[in-house]
């Protein structure tokens, strides 16, 4: 029979082996970038793929954004910029100078694991598509960080169809929807987060979410609205955490914890 000392040593070795096996089988999710939070924070983007450098503002050809978007390898791709200027599709914070402005159209996102950061979108009254950004049915794991969305003729940012899952919008501006429609966004996502963002000067849909979905709304300011957060076509109750809303025209601030819903355009906080 092993001695008492040997039995103790064997127990210690067994505990160490079990602990090491636990580490092997526990894979910690990697955030999309430092500071990513919310349901979309783990979007992988192009991690592990190649790096494509946009070197010109041409509509096609080598070095163009279009070429980078249409030749993505199976391993994924990260697109960075060596130029700045006005283009029509997508960009990033790597651009020098004043960065990248996307105008006169809609950026439609239909893939999974999408990371988009530091862009300006100006749809404009003559732009096509109506929205600055659309998330198509079935989009999974997307994070939008430091975006400026303005001047849409429908909604500045919307999702529709089968609810996309796991979206984060953070540290962004959603403002100045054009014309009488002037909407912030249709948010049909399931497990969506919006935090540290400003929704300002939009008539309605700030945002409009589906009922019975999980929407995390934290540390945002909604300013100069006619209708604030809504859920469903009947404006059903919507849970809102730690938000702040300024009423349209009256500029009166309402503050509260949870349980905000819209009824005839008047908030209850």
Question: Which member of 117, 120, 191, 205 is catalytic?
Answer: 205
3-state secondary structure of 102: strand
Task: Report how far residue 143's alpha carbon sits from residue 4's, in angstroms, rounded to the nearest whole number.
Answer: 56
DSSP lists the bridge partners of residue 199 as: 174, 222
Could you tell me the sign of the dihedral formed by the alpha carbons of 57, 60, 61, 64, in that order? positive
**Helix, strand, coil content of the chain in percent (nearest 5):** 10, 35, 55
Q: What six digits make up the tokens of 135?
A: 């998330």
Q: Check if 7 is active-site.
A: no
DSSP lists the bridge partners of residue 120 as: 101, 148
- Catalytic residues, by residue number, are 205
């Amino acid at each position: 029979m092993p001695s008492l000392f040997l039995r103790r040593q064997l127990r210690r070795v067994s505990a160490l082996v079990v602990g090491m096996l636990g580490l092997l089988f526990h894979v910690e999710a990697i955030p999309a970038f430092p500071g990513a939070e919310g349901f979309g924070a783990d979007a992988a983007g192009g991690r592990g793929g190649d790096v494509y450098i946009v070197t010109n503002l041409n509509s096609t050809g080598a070095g163009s954004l279009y070429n980078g978007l249409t030749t993505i390898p199976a391993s994924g791709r990260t697109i960075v910029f060596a130029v700045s200027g006005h283009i029509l599709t997508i960009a990033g914070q790597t651009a020098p100078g004043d960065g990248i402005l996307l105008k006169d159209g809609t950026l439609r996102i239909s893939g999974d694991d999408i990371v988009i950061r530091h862009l300006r979108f100006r749809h404009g009254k003559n732009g096509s598509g109506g929205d600055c950004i659309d998330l198509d049915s079935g989009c999974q794991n997307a994070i939008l960080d430091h975006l400026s969305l303005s001047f849409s003729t429908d909604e500045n940012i919307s999702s529709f169809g089968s609810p996309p899952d796991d979206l984060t919008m953070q540290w962004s501006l959603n403002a100045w929807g054009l014309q009488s429609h002037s909407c912030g966004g249709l948010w049909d996502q399931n497990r969506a987060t919006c935090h540290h963002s400003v929704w300002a000067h939009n008539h309605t849909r700030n945002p409009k979410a589906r009922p019975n979905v999980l929407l995390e709304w934290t540390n945002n300011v909604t300013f100069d609205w006619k209708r604030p957060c809504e859920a469903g076509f009947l404006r059903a109750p919507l849970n809102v955490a730690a938000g702040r809303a300024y009423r349209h025209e009256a500029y009166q601030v309402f503050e509260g914890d949870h349980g905000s819903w819209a009824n005839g355009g008047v908030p209850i906080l």
